[in-house]
Structure 1
């Protein structure tokens, strides 16, 4: 349905811009917040923490709408039918990340509350599925004449997310030592993953507006 795809496309374009804008401004407004070393979810604490909580939830619901449009657009036998469910799962995980806050000041591997554990579990699933969804779409786009223009950027997004995730894991597990630079760049690396994936969603959504069912 063209109407559904149009609504989904606008949801997919709105979600990245809104989410990144909100967490960026929220970080600027907190004197005790360091975007290079602190995770986005840590903005959920403090007097204005509800703003980031709402930001997660709104992003999740907009991604769900976008996933519905992707499912509607890709109906042919060779279309990537698993792409929409993967984006939908990511969306649900984002909502859960907002509903359950990460423990303040604790490392991701050292959550003491069940809410923090749920948050980390949901976030982990989302970050794992981000490059997976990109790669699945890439395999379809490279053979679809209507989407070949997006195959290269999709593969690049997948590679950037994986590289940033590996570097972040190396820092979290102190692979390069206790005082390694990667430890202090955990927030930046997370933002590389998030912004790269959301930029991919934005361009995907723009393409969805004019794409024929496929």
Structure 2
């Protein structure tokens, strides 16, 4: 009965994860090219939370985080200990919580945005900037660890394609981040940093959304029997 699983709480929670990444990236893309004075080649994605209309990106971060927390709850409800297990749910939950933190605590104005901001990096950083940075690391580390957990899960299940995909994303994310740091001169030219961090978001957020789609198919295939049990 696929219809029963589609109406189940678990299926609905997993769907939240499938929606979160694409919605976040779409809202960012729209803002990149409609926000006055904002240049996505130079200004970091997080800086969309600043200035007039910054509330849109704040909501975007928080909503994406809450949707991924719902995704984590869906994973937690699934049985079959050892195939993703509790760690998969907890790490996706860490990813969601990090996004909420990144939304509630904003970065500092820099690189000429918003109007009146310093042309390079600010000389002093407030608490909000620090917590925003910590939230980003929670997102990154949670995703990398989740990739490792799910790579093993799919390898044990005999799904070589998904195991390799998870492993590849788990390697790509820290590599992209390190390249962003190496190629950025930390001065007035933030183009490498901005573009590479957008690539990181595209790769990581898309992986989490596709993972939700993949696991939801498993739930449908089980005819809705996977309900109300923790992942182990």
Same fold per superposition (TM over 0.5): yes
| Residue 178 of structure 1: how far off its partner (Å) | 6.7
Matches within 5 A, 1:39-118: 39-105=44-110, 112-118=125-131
Give the structure 1 partner of residue 149 of structure 2.
Answer: 136
Select the residue among 35, 38, 41 that pairs with 1:36: 41
User: Offset at 1:80?
Assistant: 3.3
Distance 1:56 1:111, change over 3 A: farther
Residue 170 of structure 1 corresponds to: 182
- Which segments of 5 or more consecutive residues in structure 1 lack a partner in the other structure? none
Considering only aligned residues, what root-mean-square deviation do their CA atoms show, in Å?
A: 2.5
- C-alpha distance in 2, partners of 1:99/1:139? 33
Change (3 A) 1:23 1:79: closer
Question: In the aligned structure 1, how far is the partner of 2:55 from the partner of 2:83?
Answer: 43
Tell whether 2:155 aligns with 1:150.
no
Q: What is the SS of the residue equivalent to 1:11?
A: helix
Match of 1:191 in 2: 198
1:110 offset after TM fit, Å? 5.9
Deviations 1:79-103 (A, max 9, x none): 4321111111121111111111111
- State the 1:131 CA deviation: 1.3
The structure, 1 or 2, with the larger RCO (C-alpha pairs under 8 Å, 6+ apart) is 2
> What is the CA distance between 1:49 and its match in structure 2?
0.6
Distance, in Å, in 1 between the alignment partners of 2:77 and 2:91 is 14
SS at match of 1:142: helix
* 1:19-60 CA-partner distances (Å, limit 9, x unpaired): 000011011012422222322110011211100000001000
SS class of match (1:82):
helix
Q: How many pairs align?
A: 208
**2:26 — aligned with what?**
21
Deviations 1:146-179 (A, max 9, x none): x44411211121122121011012135x4xx979
TM-score normalised by length of structure 1: 0.86
What is the CA deviation profile of residues 86-124 of structure 1, one whole-angstrom value per residue up to 9, with x for unaligned ones? 111121111111111111117789651111111111112
User: What SS does the aligned partner of 2:39 have?
Assistant: coil
Could you tell me whether the CA contact under 8 Å between 1:5 and 1:208 is conserved in 2?
Answer: no
Provide the C-alpha distance between the structure 2 equivalents of 1:193 and 1:30, rounded to a whole number of angstroms.
22
